[in-house]
Amino acid sequence: MKKHNGVISLWKFIFCIVIVIFHAGEGLKNSIFCNGSLGVEFFFLVSGYLLARSIMMRGGYKSSKKDDENLGKETGLFIFKKYKSFFPYIVLAFIVSFIIKIVLGKMTINLALFSVFDLLCLNMLGYKRSGILNQSWYISAMLLCMALIYPQIRKFKDNYFHYIGPLSAIVIAGIYFYYFKNLHGPAKWIGFTYRGVVRAYFELSIGACLYPLVQKIKETDFTKLGIYTLTAIEVFGFIIATLAMHFVSKSYDYIVLLILTISILIAFSEKTLDFKILNNKLVYFLEKLSLPIYLVSIPFRNGFNSIGLPYKEHLILLLSVSLVLGTLMVLIVDFLKKREFYIPKIKKLFIKTT
């Protein structure tokens, strides 16, 4: 059973909304959250930590020679399951985007053929991008980097957390900063891969390396003053990072990344006052909305841009449509999952069951 963290769940939803608002005003002067794409950093950091926790909870410290021999298969299975969890939302968002392209008269046979790379989340591996589901770049980069990081954690364990992971993250992040100065432009090609892939790799690595630190904080018995202090640092960290996405320029991206890392570290410790308050069904549902809202917002953003709506009307309409369709997508996927409809039913058409 999936273990929820209400603090992380709430901020997933908030940063998703920040990203949607950023895309609504992208390239415009005086837009809200003009640096809101930094919300993606939150998701990479959180995903890195959850990757490490998943491995260690499955008995990461207990491995045999046979486990090492099956490491490739285990890694592949993990990535497949991750993609499978995203797949229903990707398909629904793909259908919406496909229809909008047709309505706007921008669909061509060429786009339709190459859209398969978007659907399979291969668009950050160098394959041609169709533009139908470009927003899946985040999932594509994340899955690719998880495929690289997973076997390292599984094989080296503490050596990864205390040496390989931190060193690789610091070095790659430093090189990235030297050449690009900020964390924007994920779709820019840098000779061997996209910038978004490099960005995903060092941020997932940072998130993964938080695991042993989180365990130490969990094991510490804090006084009331200590708990209040942790809560204040966590909450104000998230608030400052969010405000920075509106008021601060791109040159401070790495400072925002550091603030997010500290707040995420504390949030996962489950020691703060807001942890108990936010562990409820409403917050969990908001978390479920974050991915579908993100995926479905971009096609409508493009559609509204074509119409030429004023910024305020565009923003309000985009948020409203994204929330409604995101909720509808969650309800559809939950309905299908409960009835084991969309994969087992199709499988039975081709494979005999005993």
Helix, strand and coil in the chain, % to nearest 5: 75, 0, 25
SS (H, E, C) 149-162: HHHHHHHHCHHHHH
Q: Residue 344 has what pLDDT? A: 58
The string of pLDDT tens digits covering residues 189-213 is 999 999 999 999 999 999 999 999 9
For the segment 278-298, the average pLDDT, to the nearest whole number, is 95
Backbone φ, ψ for residue 194 (5° rounding): -90, 155
**Binning pLDDT at 50, 70 and 90, where does residue 307 land?**
confident
Is 194 in contact with 187 (CB distance < 8 Å)? yes
Rg, Å, the chain Cα set: 21
The rounded distance, in Å, linking the Cα atoms of 102 and 105 is 5
8 burial via Cβ count (<10 Å: 0-12, 13-18, 19+) = buried
178 burial via Cβ count (<10 Å: 0-12, 13-18, 19+) = exposed
The rounded distance, in Å, linking the Cα atoms of 102 and 309 is 20
Is 254 in contact with 284 (CB distance < 8 Å)? no
The rounded distance, in Å, linking the Cα atoms of 44 and 202 is 9
Is 37 in contact with 22 (CB distance < 8 Å)? yes
Scan for tokens 């309409």, then name that residue.
317
Alpha helices for 25-70 (secondary structure H): 39-57, 65-69
The rounded distance, in Å, linking the Cα atoms of 266 and 59 is 24
Q: Please tell me the pTM assigned to this model.
A: 0.93
The string of pLDDT tens digits covering residues 60-95 is 655 656 667 789 999 999 999 999 999 999 999 999
Cβ-Cβ contacts under 8 Å for 327 (sequence gap 6 or more): 289
The rounded distance, in Å, linking the Cα atoms of 260 and 21 is 19
Comparing C-alpha atoms, which of 191, 263, 189 is closest to residue 232?
263
pLDDT-wise least confident of 63-67, 242-246, 315-319, 322-326: 63-67
The string of pLDDT tens digits covering residues 37-61 is 999 999 999 999 999 999 998 876 5
Please report, rounded to a whole number, the percentage of residues in the chain having pLDDT higher than 90: 75
Angle at 75 between CA 72 and CA 80, to 5 degrees: 125
